[in-house]
Amino acid sequence: MSRNYLFVSDLHLSEGRDPVTGQLSRNEDFFHDDAFARFLVYHVELSGRENAAEAFRRPWSLVINGDIFDFLQVTRLPAEGDELLAVSGVASHAELRPNEREYGLGTRSSEIVWKLAHVARGHPMFFQALGWFLAHEGNRLILIKGNHDVELYWPAVQDEMRRLIAAAYLEWRELARAGELVDAGLPWRETLPAAINDIVANTIQFPAWFYYEPGLFFAEHGNQYDPANAFSNFLAPILHDRPDLIELPSGSFFVRYFFNKVEQVHPFADNIKPISRYLRWAVNEEPLDTLRMLVAQRRMMWRSLGNLLQKRANPIKGGPDLRKHAGMPGSRDQVPLGPERWAQLIDIRDRFQDQAEAGASRTSQYTAGAVGLYGGLWLALVAAMRAFVREQWGRLLAGLAVAGGAFVGRTLLGQRLDNVQDLTSLADVASAIAAAFTEPDGQGHVAAVPFYIFGHDHHARVRAIAPIGTGAPPAWYVNTGAWLPTFSERDRLARRDVQLTFLRLVPEANADGQAQSELLEWLPDADRPRPIRLLD
């Protein structure tokens, strides 16, 4: 069956809204459940509209390209008693390990199954919308794991996802059929099936690393090219000596053990871009709260930094035995690429991780210099004030000169830090993959496609990739951005602080012989999409 495609990424659902108190978790970043539902309704209705172009009158494949969930930021615990016993094997919170009581459950399969159910409890409309979407014949859902929801690797978590979607749909259907939902966003239709248990069993896929459609697109999250968020074996991201646990990269370790505590003080911390701007805001606007938080979390801050240094001292190199891929969880998806192509991806990952490590070293030097100059500025000002009180005019001038120099140096280094966006350019990664896939493999097969689609860095982008070879059609790098608030002075000329971006891909060729692709944003107030503004 021919289908069209919708791509979104980086939704980062966590605990959501407590159905009892109505309050949002301070770690929550996704506030667009209703908008997401209307986004799906619009496209389902578009495919059934009689006056729509023939190319749009097909079912949809919805591809959520990583970081659908943020399991790291689900920190609440199951209720004591039977619920906790079923999840962790103990009946009381006192029997949990200290870090579990403080930072939430870990990464075991049973713990993530509980976390996923807790996410669904806080985001009922999101799960109902996915069920409503799949209830329409021909639609499919592809869930690609990222670094924040790598636990989708567990087969039990995949099964729970299917169960939760089917249960959410059934709950919605019963209420809608009884007329108890007002302005629910999902239209009731008598033709909708009574249950979708069999449907979700066959229409939801969990790719093990990436999703490849021959002749059309290559899609992956993109974290594997970022050293802080890469896994040594993304196909089986488990600890070698503890196969019941996920191996957290340094970025995930930092979020779980430190940054979650930052967001308890400043819930918007990771929405201010670049991060250096948030740090200046925290120091200048709320210095006491920031200092108290740093003092309270000093042990975990140093532990997180130590973990980062340890990971950097032992970089990920090489890759897994790709011949074992067929027996791994999530391998039911079709991946018509041989081991040679997988090996190319691992080589590209190693190359870009080396480049990112060099950039990280420069950033560390800039940061250390900026912190040193900030301290030097205040010491020089104190010395100048002391000289003024003692009428030591020469020392006063010297102190002011040193303070001025420190201020200028700190400002310049701060600007350099502001200009550090992401240490890995996913557009360059896409170019490297396109070049590799254009070359024939050992059997003479070429794997090149027109679209290389990523998420991860939250920057919605489209860039033409120079074709390899004479007369070859152009390839495109597309980043689908994120459905998160992003406060960035750099980008406000072209975008709003909240921009719900997605890629719509229609394989039917246009007049130029190319598949039709549009990078769009969903407008919740207007209930329609529009092209995003992209600066050259």
Over residues 411-422, the pLDDT tens digits come to: 666 666 555 556
Can you tell me the distance from the alpha carbon of 203 to that of 132, in angstroms, rounded to the nearest whole number? 13
Question: Across the strands, what pairs with 501?
Answer: 521
Nearest to 520 by CA among 504, 535, 509, 508: 504
Q: Does pLDDT of 256 surpass 90?
A: no
Q: Report CA-CA distances (Å) from 496 to 207, 483, 533.
A: 32, 12, 10
Can you tell me the distance from the alpha carbon of 141 to that of 393, in angstroms, rounded to the nearest whole number? 73
Identify which has the larger pLDDT, 437 or 410.
437
Residue 64 has φ and ψ, to the nearest 5°, of: -100, 110
Q: Does pLDDT of 217 surpass 70?
A: yes
pLDDT tens digits for range 370-382:
667 667 777 888 8
Task: Find the mean pLDDT for residues 398-412.
Answer: 79
Can you tell me the distance from the alpha carbon of 7 to that of 450, in angstroms, rounded to the nearest whole number? 15
pTM score = 0.84
Q: Does pLDDT of 331 surpass 50?
A: no
Can you tell me the distance from the alpha carbon of 474 to that of 450, in angstroms, rounded to the nearest whole number? 7
Q: Does pLDDT of 327 surpass 70?
A: no
Q: Please tell me the predicted confidence (pLDDT) of residue 508.
A: 80
Q: Which of 53-67, 89-103, 402-416 has the highest mean pLDDT?
A: 53-67
Q: Please tell me the predicted confidence (pLDDT) of residue 444.
A: 81
| C-alpha count within 13 angstroms, C-beta hemisphere, residue 101 | 9
Percent over 70 (pLDDT), the chain:
74
Q: Locate 511 and state its tokens.
A: 């007049």
Q: Locate 142 and state its tokens.
A: 């592809």
Can you tell me the distance from the alpha carbon of 27 to that of 15, in angstroms, rounded to the nearest whole number? 8
Can you tell me the distance from the alpha carbon of 259 to that of 256, in angstroms, rounded to the nearest whole number? 7
Nearest to 226 by CA among 141, 148, 143, 136: 148
CA angle 289, 290, 291 (to 5 degrees): 90
Can you tell me the distance from the alpha carbon of 404 to that of 410, in angstroms, rounded to the nearest whole number? 10
Can you tell me the distance from the alpha carbon of 437 to that of 224, in angstroms, rounded to the nearest whole number? 18
Task: Provide the 10 A C-beta neighbour count for residue 75.
Answer: 20
Can you tell me the distance from the alpha carbon of 224 to that of 482, in angstroms, rounded to the nearest whole number? 18
Question: Strand, helix or coil at 70?
Answer: coil
Q: Please tell me the predicted confidence (pLDDT) of residue 221.
A: 96
166-170, 236-240, 440-444: least confidently modelled range: 440-444
pLDDT category at 54 given cuts 50, 70, 90 is confident
pLDDT category at 329 given cuts 50, 70, 90 is very low
Residue 381 has φ and ψ, to the nearest 5°, of: -65, -40
> Would strands 451-454 and 461-465 be described as parallel, antiparallel, or unpaired?
unpaired
227-231, 232-236, 271-275: least confidently modelled range: 271-275
Task: Find the mean pLDDT for residues 129-134.
Answer: 97
pLDDT category at 424 given cuts 50, 70, 90 is confident
Task: Find the mean pLDDT for residues 196-202.
Answer: 95
CA angle 170, 172, 175 (to 5 degrees): 110
Identify which has the larger pLDDT, 251 or 3.
3
- Give the burial class of 15: count Cβ atoms within 10 A of its Cβ; 0-12 exposed, 13-18 middle, 19 or more buried: buried
